[in-house]
């Protein structure tokens, strides 16, 4: 049996395909660098995340790996401080004031939604409150976690030392009631809604718009004013817009806990 030799035209086509793949890879890398290099070369001039905020002065630098040290007072809540943030959500149900509560601590990684759902489904006694302490992460997983909490009619709570940034506020929004201490840190900024954007421009824009539309529809379903997204859309990924307690109430994202006195 004789082997068929590829014709010169076939080799020419294969070379063109290989060259096109190299060009595509170069564009892919260039697009990623174009998004990242400006922030590396000219970092945000905004104040540090720990700087006090006031109305109209709420943009702060944001680096998930450089979180502020917000340690709770002993016995004040069932969550660790920000120095103990794991790379994906730590899910637990400790006893708090005689009742089990759900705690979600750490970055929201891809696949965490499935983990949270499986965890809840395995519980014999469903908690009525979720305590949040997260610098954010996967938007998709945050939305799915939020839907799981709402389906089970679980409230969301943040105490004074907690943070809820980036995609985390979408989980906060899911609570049947949503309470946040005035000193809790809640912030939003721009997100990526797809993989690399080295696609035809109309497809990349379509992906972004679809993602933003899904988030806005989700917020409305949760009873939160989608106008809170206007702050996210104009705040770049290396900065965060910290919401004042008044804004949280205005957007129905969270209210202050009721006084126990």
Q: What's the chain's average pLDDT? A: 81
178 closest CA partner among 244, 117, 224, 232: 224
Domain range 49-250, CATH architecture = Alpha-Beta Complex (3.90)
Tokens of 36: 């990242």
In angstroms, how far apart are the furthest CA atoms of the chain?
A: 93
| Average pLDDT rounded to a whole number, residues 88-92 | 95
Encode pLDDT of 188-240 as tens digits: 998 865 444 444 444 445 566 677 788 999 999 999 999 999 999 899 988 99
**Domain-by-domain residue ranges, the chain?**
8-42, 49-250
Encode pLDDT of 49-78 as tens digits: 888 888 899 999 998 877 877 777 666 666
Cβ neighbours of 117 (radius 10 Å):
17
β-strand pairing of 155-158 with 178-180: parallel
61 vs 241: CA distance, rounded Å: 9
Encode pLDDT of 138-160 as tens digits: 999 999 999 999 999 999 999 98
Residue 201 backbone phi and psi in degrees, to 5: -55, -40
């Amino acid at each position: 049996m004789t082997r068929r030799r590829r014709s010169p035209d076939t080799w020419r086509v294969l070379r063109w395909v290989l060259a096109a793949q190299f060009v595509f890879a170069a564009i892919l890398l260039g697009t990623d660098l174009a998004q990242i290099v400006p922030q590396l070369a000219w970092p945000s001039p905004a104040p540090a995340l720990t700087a006090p905020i006031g109305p109209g002065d709420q943009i702060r630098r944001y680096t998930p790996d450089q979180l502020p040290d917000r340690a709770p007072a002993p016995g004040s809540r069932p969550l660790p401080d920000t120095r103990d943030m794991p790379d994906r959500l730590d899910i637990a149900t400790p006893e708090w004031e005689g009742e089990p509560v759900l705690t979600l601590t750490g970055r929201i990684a891809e696949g965490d939604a499935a983990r949270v759902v499986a965890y809840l489904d395995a519980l014999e006694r469903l908690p009525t409150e979720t305590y949040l302490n997260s610098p954010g992460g996967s938007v998709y997983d945050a939305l799915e976690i939020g839907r799981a909490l709402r389906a089970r009619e679980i409230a969301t709570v943040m105490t004074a030392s907690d943070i809820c940034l980036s995609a985390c506020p979408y989980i906060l929004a899911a609570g049947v009631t949503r309470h946040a201490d005035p000193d809790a840190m809640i912030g939003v900024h721009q997100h990526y809604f797809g993989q690399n954007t080295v696609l035809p421009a109309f497809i990349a824009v379509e992906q972004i718009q679809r993602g933003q539309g899904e988030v806005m529809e989700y917020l409305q379903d949760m009873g939160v004013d989608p106008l809170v997204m206007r702050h996210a859309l104009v705040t770049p990924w290396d900065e965060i817009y910290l919401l004042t307690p008044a804004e949280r109430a205005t957007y129905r994202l969270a209210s202050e806990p009721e006084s126990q006195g």
